[in-house]
Amino acid sequence: MRKAYAFFTVALIAVAGIFGLNHHVYASEASLTLVPATGVYTVGSIFSVAITLNNRGVSVNAAEGELSYNPAEISVMGTSKKESIFNFWTTDPVFSNIDGFIRFAGGTPQSFSGNAGTVITLTLKALKNASSPVRFLSGAILAADGQGTNIISSLGSAAFTFIAKEDVPKAEYVAPRYSPDAPAIVSRTHPDQSVWYAKNMPEFSWMLAGDVNAIRLSINHDELAIPTVVYAPPIRTKKLTDMADGTWYVHLQARNAFGWGTVSTFRFNIDTMKPDRFTVKEIQREDFTDPRVRLFADFSDRMSGIGYYSVRIDTQKEAWWYDNGDHSYVSPPLLAGKHLIVVTAFDKAGNSAVDSLDVLVAPLAAPSLLDSFSSAQQGDPFIVHGTTYPHTQVTVWFQRNNEEPKSETTMSDARGSFAAVLEKKITEGVYAVWAQALDARGATSENSEKVTVLVRAPAFIRIGSAITNILSVIIPLIALIALLVFMTLFIRHRYALFKAKIRKEALEAEETLHTAIITLRNDIAHNLKLLQSAQSARELTEEERGMAHRLKESLDHAERVIRKEIRDIEREADR
């Protein structure tokens, strides 16, 4: 069904692309082939194979195909459409290294009428010693005739031989006498030939002797290749772009007047893709109280391979895990409860993939505390008894009133019984006591139920304390009352003194005023006598008589007012 659908879609492209062209009848003269069709490669090496359309000048605008290979012998590392004659794909090139197939279906709105052209390029890796074929199972080439006529005449195949590196004879090149030595190749971007890099734009440079007049250079997957591309005058650097993933070799040879020198080879490794597949699963535990969780990492990284993992549990700092080959990870002991584990896989080039899972650690049963100590007396030793698992560490916590909790650790015996001395001499108060168990695996229990302990002082101490408490209230109260009485008497005494002083001052003021008024009255009387003496000589004027009368009245009025104010002061002082 999938092939029929792809073929039908490609046919539609052919009809749409050349609609209106005249109908022609073609002999079956086109083919799909693999280039190269043969080759000898070392195990582990990576090489390229092009799927080529040979149309012998007939205009075509679509093709499709399906190939098969043995995934135990060959691994498809990737496909490239970069050099393809097609620019429209109804089925993007796909492959499976499990089922061993490659499929593609593409076309172009403009017809292709050259003699041959590349459809896609495959990057393959040799997996083991074998003679491994790659075959077309089906294919079609559609003519640009307005009807999508299938003009394919043959489907090619290829056979590749893979041998172990130790079986490959090293190519011997005997350089002429006085020819240049092999140039030393260095790379700023890929300095270590054994390391994988997530960079696909490598740069290389080399030093040349002064008499070198040309170089030969090749970059391919063949470790033993002889360079073929000549640069005259010679170049000293080479920058590459958009290199495919895999292991590559730079081959360099220099020439002087005596001929070509020995070949230098520089290896570089590129892996820009994250791991193809990465999942983490928990290995089933028989006992869910086991605090050590075991994980299994299922991954696929066809290029550089997995280098290491980082593991983060909840919010803890991440830890590094280096796989020893069994792909299993054992966590440190975890507390009882649910935990989130995040695992990141890094391939040898630093590309990463992440997976996470939740795990649950069941708690041990909580210890049981005996209630024989629910009440105690001050000064006695505070000993707690309980039961739990045999040979298990028990931490007993106790808290007096609202103080900070304290703890003591003990071990249970073969029957699971334990005792903990919390205080040699306990003090009075209300205590809360609880316990938690920890077994040899690191598994923890939940906290036991809290037991409340009331610690009382002895009876005579309680009576003495009560009397002390009462006296501590009464004595200050009596002292306060005595102080109030003293202050009251003192204030009354001071007030009495103050009133006596006021009364004395009022009397003195009254006497002084009386004396002043008498003196003033005498002076006025003397002046009046003078006026009366003057009256015998002459008659007083109306104004003089009025003034004498007013002086007398004013003096009488002032005396009455001042005497009244003094009496008021005396009355206030007598209260």
Eight-class DSSP state of 165:
G
381 strand-pairing partners: none
One-letter identity of residue 466: A
Point out the least confidently predicted range of 81-85, 392-396, 432-436, 541-545: 541-545
Instruction: Give the whole-angstrom CA distance, residue 238 versus residue 243.
Output: 13
Mean pLDDT for the stretch of residues 445-460: 79
Chain mean position to CA 459:
61
pLDDT of residue 10: 44
Show the CA angle centred on residue 92, arms to residues 90 and 96, nearest 5°: 135
pLDDT of residue 574: 65
* 3-state SS, residue 5: helix
Report H helices in 443-458: none
Point out the least confidently predicted range of 173-187, 245-259, 285-299, 544-558: 544-558
The residues, any chain, with a CB within 8 Å of residue 482's CB and separated by 6 or more, are: none
C-beta separation of 229 from 184 below 8 A: no
Mean pLDDT for the stretch of residues 381-407: 91
Instruction: Give the whole-angstrom CA distance, residue 358 versus residue 337.
Output: 10
C-beta separation of 366 from 439 below 8 A: no
Which tokens sit at 122?
Answer: 């495959």
Core vs surface per residue 185-209: b (16+ CB within 10 A) or e: bebeebeeeeebbbbeebebebebe
Bridging pattern class, strands 88-96 and 74-80: unpaired
Give phi and psi for 455, each to the nearest 5: -105, 120
Model pTM? 0.52
More confident residue, 202 or 469: 202
C-beta separation of 34 from 116 below 8 A: no
pLDDT of residue 572: 65
Bridging pattern class, strands 451-456 and 375-377: parallel
One-letter identity of residue 281: K
The residues, any chain, with a CB within 8 Å of residue 313's CB and separated by 6 or more, are: 331, 334, 339, 340, 341
Q: What is the CA radius of gyration of the chain?
A: 57
pLDDT of residue 115: 78
| Residue 152, pLDDT above cutoff 50 | yes
More confident residue, 118 or 14: 118
Reference 79, options 97, 93, 62, 98; nearest CA is 93
Q: Is residue 19 very low, low, confident or very high in pLDDT (cuts 50, 70, 90)?
A: very low
